Amino acid sequence: MSAVRLARPMVDTPFQINMAWWERNRRDFMTFLRESSCPDCLSRFPLDAPLSEADYIDAETGEVRRLNDLWACIVEECAHAPGYISPDLPVATAIFRALVSRGNAPLSPVQIHQIIQRSNPQTILRVLTGPTAILGILPAV
Amino acid sequence: MAPMFDTPEYWQSFSISGRDLDRVEEVFLDTGVPKTLSELAEIIVQGRLQDDADRQAREANENVRQYQPKFRYEMGQRLRFSALDNAVGTVIGVRDGDNPHVGRITVIRVQMDRGGEREFVADYSAEHPLNVEVKAEATPTSQAAVAPIGDILEQRLGETAEYTAFGDLWFRKDLMPDVHIGHLNIAEALIDVAGEAQPTATLVKEVEIAQGEPAARAFALNYALAHDPDQRFTNTGTDAKPRWALRQGVTV
């Protein structure tokens, strides 16, 4: 039974946005990142503004992830704005924003459910393990 | 080292794991009887304490050090990450950090034992929850952990198709003795003849459910009576001591 669970994602399996998926599928991640930004961060980093990257330190785990200026702004500001993950958003978009707002820290369906305050972990797991990957969100390596 | 249940980060990230559910499944398969949430939570607590003791014994042999951002690490250093469910990894790279807002830092690249590579900050003495020293307690507070784990377990079991509950008792559906319409018809007749509500123990003796331990048969009968498609039965006792009456025409 344990071997089956290790092979099949469960509600406590961590998921992440897989950047290699975006490259392989030739999708523009920055467009989706901009759509996930609040107005304040979008105005600070307009479309034509050059973005630099820096080491972003996870406030809970000490993990370091390379985030560009816009993404760091989302983590530090948009994520704390009321209604950033609105109940009106499609579930897949809400899940994407949950990951973006945590700097792409791996999150399980249980944790995603606690952040987006909608649906339930089993349904979120089904969304993430459908026939095609949703917005490049895959089990964390 | 502080017992796991006494550390704040333990409760911040606690969730029922696949291994916890394996233990729950094993106890049902081994005993064949329903269990209360407290009993199941105690099994999880003891299992995790044993895992933690085993891990400490292994790490004592392997010279694994607990990761804290404020320290410096070297290539080949073995580290344990308490905020990542005690995952262990080996430092395979060290580089200068790059963030103008936090000053000079180092970033270590770690090959995790469970797979994949991750980067972590080092030489980082700023305020961070992992930089706080936790005082060790003399004894683990496992009993205090049972109640909150029971609440989380109840929610998790409720989300799985394999488990069902009657009152405070939980059981696996695939282990429940078969109770069919014939049994329910006999129960109905018994209650009708008696003219008053009957305890489950009396009904179980008479309806002759073929398989299972007595506690399993009682659970299965209670569950079936409560979920009768024709809704003939009502529990006039408690979930712990049910007394079954017919919904119409029988005095309690």
* B161, part of any domain: yes
3-class secondary-structure state, position B246: strand
- pLDDT category, B186, cuts 50, 70, 90? very high
Contact B99 A55 (CB under 8 A): yes
Query: What are φ and ψ of residue A95, in 5° steps?
Result: -65, -45
Give the pLDDT confidence of B35-63 residue by residue, as tens digits. Answer: 999 999 989 988 888 888 888 777 777 78
Instruction: Give the range of the structural domain holding residue B217, as residue numbers without chain letter.
Output: 177-246
Those residues with Cβ within 8 angstroms of residue B203's Cβ, 6 or more apart along the chain or in another chain: B187, B190, B191, B221, B225, B244
Give the pLDDT confidence of A38-77 residue by residue, as tens digits. Answer: 999 999 999 888 999 999 999 889 999 999 999 999 999 9
* Confidence at residue B12, expressed as pLDDT on a 0 to 100 scale: 57
Query: Does B187 score more than 90 pLDDT?
Result: yes
Q: Enumerate the residues of chain A whose CB falls inside 8 A of the CB of residue B105.
A: 55, 57
Q: Does B22 touch chain A (CB under 8 A)?
A: yes
- Cα–Cα distance between B90 and B118 in angstroms, integer? 10
Q: Does B118 touch chain A (CB under 8 A)?
A: yes
Domain CATH number, residue B240: 1.10.10
- Cα–Cα distance between A83 and B49 in angstroms, integer? 40
- Cα–Cα distance between A139 and A129 in angstroms, integer? 9
Helix ranges (H only) for chain A are 2-7, 19-24, 29-35, 39-44, 69-76, 91-101, 109-116, 121-128
Give the pLDDT confidence of A4-47 residue by residue, as tens digits. Answer: 334 688 888 899 999 999 999 999 999 999 999 999 999 999 98
One domain for residues B230 and B182: yes
Q: Enumerate the residues of chain B whose CB falls inside 8 A of the CB of residue A65.
A: 119
Q: What is the ipTM of this complex?
A: 0.78
* Confidence at residue B141, expressed as pLDDT on a 0 to 100 scale: 58
Q: Which residues of A touch B (CB under 8 A)?
A: 1-2, 5-6, 10-12, 53-57, 59-65, 108, 110-111, 120-122, 140-141
Query: Does A84 score more than 50 pLDDT?
Result: yes
Query: Does B122 score more than 60 pLDDT?
Result: yes
One domain for residues B147 and B109: no
- Cα–Cα distance between B160 and B152 in angstroms, integer? 13
State percent of chain B over pLDDT 90. Answer: 56
One domain for residues B116 and B216: no
One domain for residues B44 and B143: yes
* Confidence at residue A124, expressed as pLDDT on a 0 to 100 scale: 94
Query: Does B1 score more than 50 pLDDT?
Result: no
Nearest to A62 among B13, B16, B120 (CB): B120
Query: Does B200 score more than 80 pLDDT?
Result: yes
* B251, part of any domain: no
One domain for residues B168 and B203: no
* Confidence at residue A125, expressed as pLDDT on a 0 to 100 scale: 93
B88: left (phi over 0), alpha (psi -120 to 50) or beta: beta
One domain for residues B242 and B147: no
Q: Enumerate the residues of chain A whose CB falls inside 8 A of the CB of residue B159.
A: 11, 120-122
* Confidence at residue B13, expressed as pLDDT on a 0 to 100 scale: 62
Q: A66 pairs with which residues across the strands?
A: A55
Q: Enumerate the residues of chain B whose CB falls inside 8 A of the CB of residue A61.
A: 81, 83-84, 120, 130
Query: Does B116 score more than 60 pLDDT?
Result: yes
* Confidence at residue B4, expressed as pLDDT on a 0 to 100 scale: 65
Domains identified in chain B, total number? 3
Q: Does B102 touch chain A (CB under 8 A)?
A: yes
Q: A97-113: b or e for each residue (b if 16 or more CB lie within 10 Å)?
A: bbbbbbbbbbbbbbbbb
